[in-house]
Every structure is written in C-alpha cells, then in structure tokens.
Chains A and B, each alone.
Chain A
Amino acid sequence: MRLDIASVEIRDIQFGNRTTVDQGTLVVNQDELTGLLAKDKRFASVELYLARPGENTRIIGIFDVIEPRAKIGPGSNFPGIVDGLNRAGSGTTRALKGASVVLLDQLIKSTDGFGTVIDMQGDGAELGLYGRNCHLVIDARPAPGISRYDYLAALRKAGCEAAVYLAQPGQEMAGARVQTCELPGSGVTEKPDALRIGYLFQIFSQQYDTAPGEAVLYGGSTVGMLPTIIHPNEILDGALVKGYAETGFDTYTIQNHPMITDLYKRVSRDFVFAGMVIANSSVNDNERARNALLTAGLFSSALRVNGVVMTKIFGGASNIDLAATADRLEELGIKSVPVIQVVAWESNLGDVLLFNTPSLDAVVCSGWIHQPTALAAVERVIGGRADGPLKEANARGEIRIERRYVRGSINNLGASGAGIAQF
C-alpha cells in the first residue's frame, strides 16, 4: 500500500473571494465555509477567525488541531466522518503544510481554566507546536439544550470537513514536496539479520467520559476494541482522529505522526519497520492483562519484531498497560522502549515513574506536565466568552498555567525535543 503525501507550503492566510492557495497564501472564502459548517443544526452559530505567526494573539479553549488535507483522485477523506468507509492510506493526499484548522470548545468544563492555549508569539509559541502555523479558527457555538457529546460530535465532523474543504485540489500543485510512504521500503531488500521494529500506539481509553459513537477509528468508537494491526499509512491518512478528551495528541500530530515518520525514515537493509498495533488503555485489570497478552502475541507471531517502541494516551494510569505489555513482550524475547510523561509532583526523578518492571530500563520522557509556565499579556484573544467559566478578558493578561496547557508542548507521541531533567 503506497501513500504519497503532496505538501504545499503555506506562509500566510487571508479571507478572499475564492478558496484557493495563491503563491503560498491560503485564501478562504469565509461565507462559503461558514455556510457549509453552519448547516449542522447542532450549532447555533459558526464564526471563523484567522491567526498568523508573530501576531500578538492567544487562542484559548481548544478542542483539536487538524492539518488541512484532501485526497486527490480516488480515496475517502476521513473515512466514516466526512466520506464513506474506504481504506485510508493509499493514493495521493494533498496537505497544506504550515496551516491548521483549530476547533474551539465552547462547552469546556469550568474546572479546566482556559483549557489549552496557542500563543502566536513569545514563549508560548516557542514551547508549543502550533505557534508557527497559519490558523483557521472555528468558533462554533452549541445549539440551545444540546448535550456536550452531541456538540463534540458536531465539532469533530466540522473540523474534518473544514480541513478537507481547505485542501481541495486547486491549481497550485507545482512545487509540491512528495513524501512517499510504503512498506517494505521501495527497492529495499532486507538483510537476513536486519532488526525488525514495531510500534504500539495506544489510541483510546475509557478513563475519561467517553460518548456512545465517539468517532476515533474510521469514524467509530473503539470501546472494547481488542489490540489490532493496522497499516501505518491508515493512521497518517485520516483513519484515526483524536477522541473527545485531551489525549496528549491532536489529530494534527496523528496526521504528522512523529514515530511513524521516524520509523519510515530509518527503513534500510538493516532496519525493517515491521508494522504497528493499535490498542486501548484499559480501565479494569482483566482487560489490561488480556490486552497485554494479545498485543505481545501480535508483535511476536504476526509482526515478528525484535523490539517495540510504545506511546501512550492521557496521563498516569495508561503507563500500566505499557508496563504490562512490556513484560509480556520480554517473555517472548522482545525489547521495549516507551515514551512517557511525568505526571507526578515529586521532585526526585527516581520517584516519578509509575512502574518498576525491570524490562523497562530504557524509557524516554516527553516532558513534565505540571511545570508552572508564565505567558505574557497579549492584545487579542480568540476563543472564550465574555461570560461563563472561560472569560476571554482573563486570558488577555499575563497568565500562569501548567505546561501541559500550552497546546503541543507536551506531546505523547514524541513530536518535539521536549524532555525532562532534574536540577
């Protein structure tokens, strides 16, 4: 299965008469896109805003960030959400690099403060993942009386539709950089003693309130899902989106998956990207133990790997699934390295890991989530409301928030150079 991602570089974003890419500027027909999204009766209103790198702007209360992408030729966009159910991951997909769709959550819980934040300049832009992108921000207000789950389902659909709308094939395909993803690598014959590496991607958990029909995998819920093998191209090409809760990764970082991308980069005669398994993080012991066994079995008999890298969802509890799985892999002679985050308030690095299984003596940490982080005052805030828990006025001044609320600063998939040290 071969996927070509043809990237067009975006350096600016403007509203204009026709949605197109004009010499690096993404032009958006505001009325047309607003009209498209406002058709959904689950919204009372839809407004669009623009934010550009370097502007003195802060976006707050964010639900998801999505890269504009659209299939060129045959293929389903976000199968099960936008288009019908067909396999993602082959053919050609047009991607607008340097642009994003940002969805605001207007039903954010009051206990979540400002929610997550994207600053377009200053320290916040340096620390997060999105300060250098041109954003199309969707502020969709919930219809009166709508439940939070129905609202989030509508947001999920709107965000994906907007992402496809923006990236629809247009005139500017010349100069597109093409990234080809296929396994085994094209023209690569592996040596008999090549190392076979697999990737375990923990994609979902019921730890936080999940909704019936919550679109996660091919537009459907993965509650109760057993670990399963999927082609990495499907993950890159819209089969998977962020669920409703704050998972530690956005749809954007799924589309630009750092681990999958790096695995592809390393493919050579000595290095085989053997494949990947997606699995849930479990909320009960039996399920966790069973999933660990099944996952290890898939890596061992179906993918025949020597080693596995693992990423997790959410915070603390999901570490346990990784540790349980690592133990089962170790039994089968397979080594693991997980990417975790420090969620403790402990000050001693020797006390913060949430497992002590000897098989995990090689651990990567993508950050400490609680570090107090001060962000300077800004001129403009996008998001929030004049009333309600998310007061836009409060977000305009200097704010002090935990590091994890700077969107993308602590990414569970290992997207940035973020790490931890003890001083």
Chain B
Amino acid sequence: MASELRVLHYLNQFFGQIGGEEKANIEVSVVEGPLGPGRAVNNVLKGRGSVVATIICGDNSFVEKQEEISRRVLEIAESYHPDLFLAGPAFNAGRYGVACGALCKAIQEGLKIPAVTGMFEENPGVDLYRKEVYIIKTPKSAGAMLEAIQKMVGLGTKLLSGQEIGTPEEEGYFARGVLRNVLFGRSGAERALDMLLAKLKGEPYKTEVPLPKYNRVSPSAPIPDLTSATIALVTDGGLVPKGNPDKIESLAATKFGIYPIENLEDLRGMACEVNHVGYDSRYVSEDPNRLVPLDVMRSLEKEGVIGKLHENFLATTGVATSFMNCQQIGREMAKYLQSQQVSGVLLSST
C-alpha cells in the first residue's frame, strides 16, 4: 500500500454538524477533509493516513431514497479513490444505522475496498447488515465515540493489510455468522478435561458451543373424527422417485418433493430410491413401505379407520439439515397440506 491511507467517511446531518432532526431531509453533500468524529479518525491514524473527504446525508433522505442516494455516494466515493470507507458510528440511531450499513455494503461491492461501521446491538442496522458488513459493537451513547472510532480504524486497517481477522470477541464486531475451524493451543482431549475439572471445582468455564434455545411449539388439537379425516404421509428419510427428479440434496436439504401414490397399494410398486447419507438404507431399498408405510395405511383406509389417504406423499432428506431450512420446509409442507384439506400427518423419520 503506497504512502498514506485515503479514508472516506460518511456522517449523518447531526454528526456532520449541519443540524438536528430538522435537517434530516438534507441531500448528499461532500466536504474536503474530516468533520467531527472524522477528526478522531485522523488522530487514531497518527499520520498513517487521513480522512480525505466526508460525505454527509440526512437520515430521512437516505431512508426515503436509498437506491438513488447509494448511487450518488458511490459516484462521489469513486472520484476520491479511497482505500477505506468508514460510516458513523451510528450508536443507537436507527435510520443512521441503516444508512451506514447499506452504504458500507454498496461501497465494498462497488469499489472493492474494505468498509467498516459501528452500532449499538439494538440498532436495526445490525441485523440487516451484519452478515455482509463488519459492524463494530458500540454502547448506546455517543460518549463512547473515541473507543468506537479506534476499533473501526483498527479493523479497517487490518482488513486492508490482508491480515487474518480475529474472532468477534477479539476485534469487537458483531458475529457475521460464518463458522470456521480454528486451531487452539491445547488438544480437544486436553480442553475437555480442563473444562470438566473447572466444572467440578466450581471454577469458571466457557462452553465452546452454546446450548440451542428452542421455542416451545404447542401441538395442534386432536383430530375430532379420524374416520372422516384425510391423512397424508410425510417422511424425512429421503425416499424419492428413481433418478431424484427434483434433485433434493442427500445432505443439508433445502427443499421437499410431492410424489403420487394414488393408485398404489404398496410402495414396492413405485420406482424409487433412497437419497439420504445418514442411515443404512438397505432395508428401505428392499421394501420402501418400511419407511413410508403405504401398505398399512391402505388397510386402515379400507377398514374405515381413516377417512382417506392423501394421494401424494411428501419427502425431504433430514440429515445435517440446517435449522432454518427445517423450519422453512415445514412451513411450506404445511401450507401445501392445508390447501389439500389434509387434517393429519404421519411423519416417519430415520
């Protein structure tokens, strides 16, 4: 990186020293050099670089004309040839936080330079942009400005140098939701014994993976009259028509399929295969009724125990499926089944 670092800084109307809420509708303007918190940026950089220009925009203007403003800011930014883009920090100011996040994202994509901002955890900009943008964690109040700027500049210069970025705890940013293998100084076995001893002695310990928090889901009310109900078969055992026409993934599935069984008495009459890497599927391949019990359900249908067996069965692959995708697939299955007046499901899993 030759000579001095060129930093471009974005501020809202307030930190840009134009005015308060009454100036929230001002358009984009640019000023040479640093303004307000930008001076702290220069102090932290200590001659390694400086804020070459400060872009200011009103919080309302941004929120109302996001695309247009982002384009304008990108144009201005290009003309300054910056090495690094800093926005805010926005602390708990919501519109400002959204602007900072959106502009960091636009700049890093458009100019291919690092961009860093800072916000308080309740700022809506955090959840919107944390996956794509490095957002330094700040307290609620702007009294913490200097520390926030120090962390933003620190992270920004690290990104520029290509150094490996540390964990969220080390660098002070909101976790972006990327998992990575790391190397600890002690082996997994040593760490396990260390942790067990700490637990037994009442000393502090920190789990390497926290327990998940699941919502409690209230079960539906019982089916009032099974003999008149339409029941559907659903499975996560990965049973699909031969050739897997819907290309459901055999691991970490993102979708499900709907497959006809209308005229079948027995699933051995279906050309099918098991598409699932999580269990020994030999026995299901031999007789798919073991996974999707069509034969037994037909008997129950004939005997009048259930009103009707739905003409399709639903299948997905339940191995290493992400929690979010499980919820999404479940929701979509339920939507389909409701549209078919299905009132109950036999869900078979492996």
Binding site for B on A (CB under 8 A): 111, 195, 197, 206-210, 258-259, 261-263, 266, 271, 283, 306-309, 315-317, 335-340, 342-353, 355-358, 360-368, 370-371, 403, 409-411, 413-423
Contact = CB atoms under 8 A, between A and B. Distances in A.
A422 B192 CA distance: 19
A283 to B, nearest CB: 8
Given A195-B197, A352-B209, A403 B181 contact: yes
B180 to A, nearest CB: 6
B208 A363 contact: yes
A324 to B, nearest CB: 15
Interface of B: 165, 167-168, 175-193, 195-201, 205, 207-214, 250, 252, 277-280, 282, 319-324
Nearest to A338: B192
A287 to B, nearest CB: 15
B182 to A, nearest CB: 5
Contacts of A368: 179-181
Contacts of B252: 345
A414 B279 contact: no
A350 B213 contact: yes
Contact of B177 (A309, A414, A422): A422
Contact of B188 (A336, A358, A362, A415): A415
Contacts, number: 198
19 contacts: A206-B280, A209-B280, A210-B280, A258-B189, A309-B192, A335-B196, A337-B193, A339-B189, A342-B179, A345-B252, A357-B211, A362-B199, A413-B189, A416-B187, A417-B186, A417-B188, A419-B191, A420-B182, A421-B167
B184 A417 contact: yes
| Highest count of chain A CB atoms <10 Å: which of B168, B189, B323 | B189
Contacts of A347: 177-179
Listed from nearest, the 9 A-B pairs whose CB atoms lie closest are A414-B188, A414-B189, A347-B177, A258-B189, A366-B188, A337-B196, A259-B189, A364-B192, A417-B184
Contacts of A363: 207-209
A362 B207 contact: yes
A248 to B, nearest CB: 11
A307 B200 contact: yes
Contacts of A338: 192
Contact of B195 (A266, A364, A410, A418): A364
A365 B196 CA distance: 14
A361 B183 contact: no
Nearest to B320: A343
B331 to A, nearest CB: 17
Given A342-B209, A346-B322, A415-B189, 5 more contacts: A195-B197, A195-B200, A316-B319, A353-B209, A423-B176
Contacts of B185: 417
Interface majority SS (helix, strand, loop, mixed), chain B? loop
Q: Which of B183, B185, B205, B250 has the most CB of A within 10 A?
A: B183
Contacts of A262: 187, 189-190, 193
Contact of B178 (A195, A367, A423): A423
A348 B174 CA distance: 12
A351 B180 contact: no
A417 B181 contact: no
B282 A422 contact: no
B338 to A, nearest CB: 27
Given A363-B209, A364-B195, A422-B175, A344 B323 contact: yes
Contacts of B278: 207, 315-317
A208 B207 CA distance: 30
B180 A346 contact: no
Contacts of B250: 111
A420 B192 contact: no
A338 B192 CA distance: 7
Nearest to A263: B193
Given A337-B196, A353-B210, A419 B188 contact: yes
A355 to B, nearest CB: 8
Contacts of B282: 209
A421 B182 contact: yes
A423 B168 contact: yes
A38 to B, nearest CB: 32
B34 to A, nearest CB: 30
A349 B177 CA distance: 8
A309 B324 CA distance: 31
A420 B199 contact: no
B211 A364 contact: no
Contacts of B188: 258, 339, 364-366, 411, 413-419
B333 to A, nearest CB: 20
Given A263-B193, A414-B192, A422-B178, A356 B214 contact: yes
A367 B180 CA distance: 8
B211 A361 contact: yes
B209 A344 contact: no
In this complex, the member of B200, B208, B210 whose beta carbon has the largest number of chain A beta carbons within 10 angstroms is B208
Contact of B167 (A209, A266, A357, A422): A422
Contact of B211 (A283, A358, A414): A358
A411 B187 CA distance: 10
B326 to A, nearest CB: 10
Contact of A349 (B179, B195, B277): B179
Contacts of A206: 280
Contacts of B214: 356
A417 B187 CA distance: 4
Contact of A423 (B180, B192, B196, B321): B180
Given A262-B187, A367-B181, A207 B280 contact: yes
Contacts of A336: 196
B129 to A, nearest CB: 15
A150 B108 CA distance: 57
Contacts of B279: 207-208, 283, 317
A317 B187 CA distance: 24
Contact of A420 (B180, B186, B197, B321): B180
Contacts of B179: 342, 346-347, 349, 352, 368, 371, 420-423
A56 to B, nearest CB: 24
Nearest to B167: A421
Which one of A348, A362, A414, A423 has the highest number of Cβ atoms from chain B below 10 Å of its Cβ?
A423
